[in-house]
Structure 1
Amino acid sequence: MRRPAGLPPRRAARGFTLIEVVVALVVMAVMSVMAWRAVSALTTSREHNEAAMERAETLQTLMRQWELDLREVQDSGQVPALAFDGATLRLTRRRETGLQLVAWQVREGRLSRWESPPVADRDALQDAWFRSQQLNVEELRAQPGLSGVAGWQMHFFRGNGWSNAQSSDDVTTVNRPSPSASDPSGQAQVAKRVVPSGVRMRLQFADGSGYRGELIREVAVESSGS
């Protein structure tokens, strides 16, 4: 069949060349890599933010407990109401059913809190005090705590200023009745540990712990006698 005069000649159908296909595949691959990197960055950022929020929540919860313990200190007259030996801070706090012995300790890069059951007699309180001196690492790791701690320092507010918590500034002498056969109204001087009116804790964090620098907490102590 002859084509009408004046029409352009028919061209054969033309597909993609190999080079065009390769270029398209390369572009798609580059776009896929860029998209994957963006999704990966978002996921990593979210994980980091969640971890940071979890660390902050753990720290805040522990510090609230720290302040609560110190604000409920009670002097039993049997064991020190508040004492620091360089590694462990021990205190007795009042509870509805008696007194409780609490020990805060830094060991192997972790700040841990241990507490005894509330006790109502002197012997049980003495036992709890000795028990707090025998805690091992496994027991402490099972307790609430904070990892990534490089060290800590403790100061007590005594008189009109802060001093090292391990100093003897909180020991004074008082007169107590000491009757004898020759002097029924006699008195004797005995040493008594005065509860400080404030505690300053300084926590140093280890590199890679997720915390920066150090943390300082000052808490007023409102001790009551037994």
Structure 2
Amino acid sequence: MGRALRRAPRRGSAGFTLIEVIVALVLMGVMTVMAWRAVSALTGSREHNEAAMDRAETLQTLMRQWELDLREVQDSTLVPALSFDGATLRLTRRRETGLQLISWQLREGRLSRWESTPATGREALQEAWFRSQQLSAEELRALPGLNGIAGWQMYFFRGNGWSNAQSSDDVAQSPSGSASDATGQRAAQRRLVPTGVRMRLQFADDSGYRGELIREVPVESTGS
């Protein structure tokens, strides 16, 4: 009998075909892109929330300072205790070592706060008043402040109601009725310190804030 020939068994495939490799790579690429987008969205959301919290904290800090300044107004009779010219609100604030001139100024979309060193004499206080009118844009940008302000209005509570802070309702005739003092420097009118201040802030569209902010603060002025 002839020897029977035995056929060797066929081996199974030990690798991947080219199509399988391409499909796997495509799936891995899609999953990587989806994962990257998810991480990017999460990071962007976190950064957005942190930025919003920083803006809110900055606004709250400035408003607390605003209220503190107005609650400590003191009339020196040398310069206006509280005045507003449309761009700048100036006030004199009592401190332990003297009177301090505070200036809140809106310029180039930024609300900035400047303060002088406490003054103990007439000349020092008047010098601080003039200094507050000479602040440059560079100086204001270096001061504590808030960006993204489109505009603001100020109202004073005088008598029995609110009126525009730039109106003439805050003046009253002096009892003497004289036109000036011996040096011709003191007017026959004196400004009355309002008993309240209302501020309206309008935010720019790209500021991160919405609408406008209205804040009312009572003023309890004392004489020097």
**What TM-score does the superposition give when structure 1 sets the normalisation length?**
0.90
- 1:67 matched residue in structure 2: 67
Q: Is the 8 A contact 2:74 2:93 kept in 1?
A: yes
Q: Is 1:213 matched with 2:211? A: yes
- 1:182 matched residue in structure 2: none
Structure-1 separation of matches of 2:31 and 2:5? 48
- 1:104 matched residue in structure 2: 104
- 2:197 matched residue in structure 1: 199
Structure-2 separation of matches of 1:214 and 1:105? 18
Q: Which runs of 5+ in 2 are unaligned?
A: 179-186
Aligned residue for 2:52, secondary structure, equals: helix
Q: Is the 8 A contact 2:177 2:188 kept in 1?
A: no
Question: How far did residue 191 of structure 1 move?
Answer: 1.1
1:128-207 matches, within 5 Å, as: 128-176=128-176, 190-207=188-205
Aligned residue for 1:162, secondary structure, equals: strand
Change (3 A) 1:12 1:69: same
Question: How far did residue 79 of structure 1 move?
Answer: 0.3
Question: How far did residue 16 of structure 1 move?
Answer: 1.2
How many residue pairs were aligned?
213
Aligned residue for 1:175, secondary structure, equals: coil
- 2:117 matched residue in structure 1: 117
Question: How far did residue 58 of structure 1 move?
Answer: 0.5
Deviations 1:180-222 (CA, angstroms, capped at 9, x unpaired):
xxxxxxxxx9311110000000001111111111111100001
Question: How far did residue 12 of structure 1 move?
Answer: 1.3
Structure-2 separation of matches of 1:3 and 1:86? 110
Structure-2 separation of matches of 1:42 and 1:157? 48
Change (3 A) 1:3 1:217: farther
Structure-2 separation of matches of 1:38 and 1:139? 43
- 2:22 matched residue in structure 1: 22
Supply the RMSD in Å over aligned alpha carbons.
2.0
Question: How far did residue 174 of structure 1 move?
Answer: 2.5
One-letter code of the match for 2:9? Answer: R
Structure-1 separation of matches of 2:213 and 2:124? 35
Aligned residue for 2:217, secondary structure, equals: strand
Structure-2 separation of matches of 1:124 and 1:176? 28
1:39-58 matches, within 5 Å, as: 39-58=39-58
Change (3 A) 1:3 1:218: farther
- 2:10 matched residue in structure 1: 11
One-letter code of the match for 1:134? Answer: Q
Q: Is the 8 A contact 2:155 2:199 kept in 1?
A: yes
Change (3 A) 1:166 1:17: same
Question: How far did residue 173 of structure 1 move?
Answer: 1.1
Question: How far did residue 21 of structure 1 move?
Answer: 0.9
Structure-1 separation of matches of 2:98 and 2:38? 58
Question: How far did residue 11 of structure 1 move?
Answer: 3.1
**What TM-score does the superposition give when structure 2 sets the normalisation length?**
0.91
- 2:80 matched residue in structure 1: 80
